[in-house]
Amino acid sequence: MYSLTTIKILCYSGKVTDIRQDLSNNGRLAYILVACDLHKKILHNSTDLFSQISSYAGDEDLFPKDQSTDEYLSKWMNLAYLNKRKTSISIYDLDQWADSTAPKALADVFEALVGAIFLD
């Protein structure tokens, strides 16, 4: 699992803005929640929400069945690092985690978990 203390921050103009954007991107937050299988713990009484979450979590392009949670998150961290260094990577590779089809409820749950951990 990654924590903010394990991420070395390289100083350059706009770094704080870049970090804020990454941390407030609903698609990326939803991706992290699903990659950690926490979406299975959400209690809800909405069949529409259930179908949206199931559809998003079942996307084979985003979540291949042969990858572990660590592999999902390692790939995302490496792509985010390469993008910040302006290394040539496919824009699709990084933008797939900013997918606008992710239900916002997933990002909201992730933000609530982070807030609860912070307050604890």
| pLDDT digit string, tens, across residues 61-76 | 777 777 676 776 666 6
Which residue from 62, 66, 53 is spatially nearest to 28, judged by alpha carbons?
A: 62
Binned at pLDDT 50, 70 and 90, residue 52 comes out as very high
Three-class SS of residue 85? coil
The contacts of residue 75 (CB under 8 Å, 6+ apart) are: 67
Residue 96 DSSP symbol: G
pTM over 0.95: no
